[in-house]
Structure 1
Amino acid sequence: MANLIYSATMSLDGFIAGPGGDMSWLAPYTAPDPAADELAARTGALLVGNTTYGGDDPNCGTDAEGAFGGTWHGPQFVLTHNPPASWPPDVTFTDDLGRAVATARAAAGAKDVNVLGADVARQCLELGLLDEVVVFVVPVLLGDGVRLFDHPGGHLIRLEHIARDVSEESTHLRLRVVRD
């Protein structure tokens, strides 16, 4: 079965988007990265939050627009309560997280499902569905915005290192969710 992996690029102070979902801060940190390329190659489907799907892309209007700098193409499953009237052929909108995860895993085949969006990742963690967290920490402080993980009053979630790597652009952390 496909692993469910939450991946994000994060500022050193823990934000994956600036205030209002602003992603322009990310543009200077989109250079080629072997760890990101490896993650993209392992990805067979995306499970995306609606805010992320309709959000700010720092590469908008360029060849690098889209997931993994425009290098990844495949099925996307968008979790939303308000689907649009029409959508691209590789995109499916649903309001049922369990069904979205099951369908995305089936679509991914032998590859993994990459979760994009902090709220969807939090929901997957709460249900015990998330297998890994992959974070690219870049050298910038945003001070405010969307946190990598935010669950006020939540409980401790233990993670264990699978891999660590440092490149010129980021520090890459790959962690497994520990299930007790």
Structure 2
Amino acid sequence: MMSKLRCHISISLDGYVAGPNQSEQNPLGVGGDRLHDWVAPLAAFREAHGGQGGEVTASSRVFEESIANLGAGLMGRNMFGPIGGGPWGDGEWKGWWGDEPPFHYPVFVLTRHSREPVEMRGGTTYHFVTDGIESALDQAMKAAGGKDVMLWGGGDVARQYLAAGLLDELELHVVPVLLGGGSRLLDDLGGADVRLEQIRAVEAPDVTHLKYRILRGASA
């Protein structure tokens, strides 16, 4: 089976994947943390992050599928941080997720500023890619060893992969929240003719999961 580039992302009803005024105190912007209220109580989510307890809902299977069969990850510099980007400075910044990130596989960070790989506890190594989205995807696919690659975000990078026809699967976790501003996922695809086939829709507490396959060539 071919490896896929997948993106699973929480989105507000008005189309934002992060709220306005992102800061170190509010990395998801004002109100952006509400986008993940559906997943934080899940037993599967807590187990994946070293916790215990939690709930089992219709979202549990969706979350479990989202983290299955992954061999590498991709993300943009804005998601990795720190807020504002720029040169890496003293190199102390190692992401938002602490000394043992929840990924447990190589993660390729798109950036304009070169940096040596950063190895973390638990099997995560961050690699910093300065030569574009296709190079980052090629490196991630090789590192994944036949498994899938997860595109973690943020919105700008996900939009670039979608517009370039490089994304295979998109699952939107639509949350009944209106953020009114911030980072939008589907604002401007630069004229790209992106065609989607809906695979499923799952209704769950505080969220609706909409899963799409991106069609290419004759399939479109």
TM (normalized to structure 2)?
A: 0.68
Matched, 1:41 2:68: yes
SS in 2 for 1:38: helix
Give the conservation status (yes or no) of the 8 Å contact 1:18–1:25. no
Q: Tell me the equivalent position of 1:2.
A: 3
Q: Tell me the equivalent position of 1:98.
A: 134
SS in 2 for 1:105: helix
Alignment match of 2:199 (pick from 152, 162, 175): 162
Give the conservation status (yes or no) of the 8 Å contact 1:77–1:93. yes
How many Å apart are 1:24 and its aligned residue? 2.8
Q: Could you tell me how far apart the structure 2 residues matched to 1:161 and 1:136 are?
A: 14
The letter of the residue matching 2:205 is: E
Aligned-pair identity (%): 40
Change (3 A) 1:107 1:11: same
Q: Tell me the equivalent position of 2:110.
A: 79
Q: Could you tell me how far apart the structure 2 residues matched to 1:24 and 1:130 are?
A: 25
Matched, 1:133 2:170: yes
Gaps of 5+ in 1: 57-64
Q: Could you tell me how far apart the structure 1 residues matched to 2:80 and 2:166 are?
A: 21
How many Å apart are 1:50 and its aligned residue? 0.4
SS in 1 for 2:118: coil
Give the conservation status (yes or no) of the 8 Å contact 2:156–2:185. no
Give the conservation status (yes or no) of the 8 Å contact 2:173–2:210. yes
How many Å apart are 1:160 and its aligned residue? 0.5
Gaps of 5+ in 2: 23-28, 43-58, 84-95
Q: Tell me the equivalent position of 1:61.
A: none
Q: Could you tell me how far apart the structure 2 residues matched to 1:3 and 1:162 are?
A: 15
Matched, 1:26 2:35: yes
How many Å apart are 1:86 and its aligned residue? 6.5
SS in 2 for 1:119: helix
TM (normalized to structure 1)?
A: 0.82
How many Å apart are 1:85 and its aligned residue? 6.2
Change (3 A) 1:86 1:101: closer
Q: Name the structure, 1 or 2, with higher relative contact order (CA <8 Å, separation 6+).
A: 1
Alignment match of 1:113 (pick from 125, 134, 149): 149
Q: Could you tell me how far apart the structure 1 residues matched to 2:116 and 2:140 are?
A: 21
Structure with bigger gyration radius: 2
Matched, 1:122 2:149: no
Matched positions, count: 169
SS in 2 for 1:121: helix
How many Å apart are 1:91 and its aligned residue? 0.5
Question: Superposition RMSD on alpha carbons, in Å?
Answer: 2.2
Q: Could you tell me how far apart the structure 1 residues matched to 2:68 and 2:210 are?
A: 17
